[in-house]
Structure formats: C-alpha cells, structure tokens
Amino acid sequence: MNPLIVGLTGGIGSGKTTICEEFSRLGVPVIDADHIAMDVVAKGQPALHDLSRHFGPQILNRDGSLNRSELRTIIFRDQQQRAYVEKLLHPLILQKIREQVESCDTPYVIVEIPLLIEAGWQQQVDQILVIDLPEELQIKRLQERSGLDHLTIEQIMASQLTRSERIEYADQIIDNSGDPGELLKIVSNLHHQFLQLSEMRHR
C-alpha cells in the first residue's frame, strides 16, 4: 500500500516539531527532511566530499565533518552557491525520503520539510499542511527557544516565503498561536481526515 504523503511545512519557529510529535504519538510515521539532509552530508559521504572540493576546507571542522554554520553563511550571501548546494543535495534528499515512505505500511505519513514550497517540492506530496502563526509570535518564540538575535531571525525569515505566500499552497492549515490543548484537538481532527483521504484513495 502506498501511503498518503502529507508534507508538513511552516516558517522557522512555527512549531513544526511539536506538531510532528503529536502525529507521532498517534502512531503516524514522521519523516524529517532536515535529519535526512544531515545524513547525506555526514562525514564519509560522497556529497560532503563534493562540497569540500567545491568550497574548500573552510567548510569542514577539524574532525572532517561539515561546518554547517560556515556553509549556511556562504549560501545566505551568494544565491549561485546556494543553487549549487541545492542541485547537489536535493536529489539525494528526495531519494531518501522516497525510500523511507516506501518502507511505511501505514495509511499516511508525515514528511516534515521546512522549505517544501521554496524548494518546489509540492508535487512530491499529496497534501500540504502548513503550520501558521503571526510573525510577532514567531519571532518571540524563536528568541526564547534559540537565543538568536532579532537581525539573524529576520534574515532567516526573509529567505523563506511570507505567511500569505505559504498559505496559498496549503491544503490544510494549523493555527499554532493558541492554547496547546486546542492544538491537540486540531491534530486529532486532521488525523481522522487524513485517514479518510487515504481510505478513499484505495477504494
């Protein structure tokens, strides 16, 4: 059985991790694209060799692992270098996602992809679930959680779609600005909707 693929996305600090944990608690497999992205550039992987050959040793730590903050700084400043990294890594990440989806025997799976729409991966999923909240609250939660300064947060947010742009692509939206107890009800309701959608596909 091919599971229904729900692509879960949202801006930085929108609460994607918390919501994924709730789906996981309901027995739904959650595939994390960020974790896969880390795996494909782990020490010893061919992609890390390609990156170090392209950018030089400055992007490596002393132990030979990827210096993520250095690479992030480079691609934030240079759109061409960012395009190079995406062209190299995106096919590898997509292949790993497909392999993990195919190994699931549940009615549906959640694939958490923070930059799902920015990467143009809408066609890789059956449903797009957007986690949304006001930008002021997004910034406040990010500062509390990560300790990032306001300027850095604004730069990261500027590299992502705006709220209104992201919502245009949504099949389902979770407003994560309210009470945590209400959030559990919303996730539970969506869980039943996705189960029904999966059942309809296989009739």
Q: Any idea of the CA torsion for 24, 142, 167, 6, to the nearest 10 degrees?
A: -20
pLDDT of 141 above 90: no
Tell me the two tokens of residue 125.
């999923």
Q: Name the residue with higher pLDDT: 117 or 145.
A: 117
At 86-133, the pLDDT tens digits run 999 999 999 999 999 999 999 999 999 998 998 999 999 999 999 998
- When pLDDT is averaged across residues 15-29 and rounded to a whole number, the result is 95
pLDDT of 146 above 80: no
Residue 57 confidence class, pLDDT cut points 50, 70, 90: very high
CB 128 within 8 A of CB 9: yes
At 148-176, the pLDDT tens digits run 777 777 777 777 888 899 999 999 999 99
Tell me the two tokens of residue 13.
């600090």
Identify the CATH homologous superfamily for domain 1-29+106-203: P-loop containing nucleotide triphosphate hydrolases (3.40.50.300)
Residue with tokens 């890789």: 124
Round to whole Å and give the CA distance between 76 and 155: 9
Q: Name the residue with higher pLDDT: 11 or 156.
A: 11
Looking at residue 158, what is its pLDDT? Answer: 77
Q: Name the residue with higher pLDDT: 134 or 24.
A: 24
Tell me the two tokens of residue 105.
């025997």
What is the pTM for the complete model shown? 0.90
Number of H helices and E strands in the chain, helices first, is 9, 5
Mean pLDDT value across the chain:
91
Looking at residue 1, what is its pLDDT? Answer: 66
Q: Any idea of the CA torsion for 14, 20, 21, 23, to the nearest 10 degrees?
A: 130
pLDDT of 61 above 70: yes
Q: Name the residue with higher pLDDT: 194 or 2.
A: 194
**Taking the domains of the chain in order of start, what are their residue ranges?**
1-29+106-203, 35-103
